[in-house]
Structure 1
Amino acid sequence: MQRTEINLDETDLAILRLLQEDARMTNVALAAKLKMAPSAMLERVRKLEEKGVIRGYSAVVNPLAIDKDLLVFIFIKTKDSFADDKSARALAAIPQVMEVHHIAGDDCYLIKARLSGPTELMELKRSRFSKISNIISMRTTIVLETVKESSHISID
């Protein structure tokens, strides 16, 4: 999706702000907050979904509640050519991997993963990452404390 393909007006931006705060907000509640008819609001939200502006709705789970209190970032260098995304697709297919970013610099990818502890980290590296033949090196950073973590995008 190219940015130039999508034109958002102030009402669209207001809808996005409100849904980021509470994705469970009903169309009726959204319509009331923005002083619109519920049917018009439903159509607006549907169009935002169809255009791919709203990519989905999800619950934010407390990682401690499901024993996933180890947060790691892994810098991975591969021998892939710049146009080849074979390693990226293999990394993205691993369930523990939350994010895969193709980055500039000495490394090729930045991976974010939530795990139950060091044992799961070693298992991830041994049983999953080691099977990706293009990986040359990995550097792991373990997060000691998270001050802020959010999936919200600032909408001005």
Structure 2
Amino acid sequence: MIDEVDLQILEILQEKARIPNAEVARQVGMAPSAVLERIRKLESQGIISGYEVRLNPEHFAQKLAAFVLVEMSRGDCRETSAALAEVTGVQEVHQVAGDDGYLLKLRVADTEALGRILREEVAIIDGVARTRTLIVLETIKETRRVTLGGSVTEPF
């Protein structure tokens, strides 16, 4: 079960994953060894699933963000989702309810690159009937943070 101290630790780590363990301990009022033990427990339970660096895509010629709705005609979902995950520039693949089977988030250089990827990579995947593309004009908020508090479920 996750307690209030675990929630404080998770909030701190979501804000700055590279924060020294001793600083986390200071902020929650515990010994560094106790905090490290809690973090390791949260990792082993799968509550903390990893740590990553967020890069600015503009520095890597990936200025254009787009969301692509993929309507399916047929095909094996596992094969389709695996194929969609391998498409150039795909950051996220979500199977969704409704007429569209999948929602993709892509980061690419420009509309020319996006068009090429849609024609040469997405359209050839078995079962893809059609796509609808939304090009992002401006990103107001983008985060991977999870809102903490409320009810906490036990890990599987």
The CA deviation string for residues 6-55 of structure 1, in whole angstroms up to 9 with x for no partner, is: x2111111111101100001111111110111111111111111111111
SS at match of 2:80: helix
> Could you tell me which residue of structure 2 aligns to residue 4 of structure 1?
none
Is 2:78 aligned against 1:73? Answer: no
> Could you tell me which residue of structure 2 aligns to residue 60 of structure 1?
54
SS at match of 2:69: strand
> Could you tell me which residue of structure 2 aligns to residue 139 of structure 1?
132
- Which residue, out of 14, 32, 35, partners 2:8? 14
Is 2:68 aligned against 1:86? Answer: no
- Which residue, out of 39, 45, 64, partners 2:39? 45
Runs of 4+ in 1 over 2 A off after TM superposition: none
Distance 1:150 1:23 in 2: 14
Q: Post-superposition shift, 1:63?
A: 1.5
- The amino acid of 1:46's aligned partner reads R
SS at match of 1:147: coil
Asked if structure 2 preserves the Cα contact closer than 8 Å seen for 1:73 and 1:140, the reply is yes
SS at match of 2:103: strand
TM-score, normalised via structure 2 length: 0.89
Distance 2:117 2:147 in 1: 33
- The amino acid of 2:70's aligned partner reads I
> Could you tell me which residue of structure 1 aligns to residue 26 of structure 2?
32
The CA deviation string for residues 44-92 of structure 1, in whole angstroms up to 9 with x for no partner, is: 11111111111111111111121211010000011346x8322111111
Identical-pair percentage: 40
> Could you tell me which residue of structure 2 aligns to residue 111 of structure 1?
104
Unmatched tracts of structure 1, length 5 or more: 1-6
SS at match of 1:141: strand
- The amino acid of 2:13's aligned partner reads L
Is 2:118 aligned against 1:128? Answer: no
Q: Post-superposition shift, 1:131?
A: 2.9
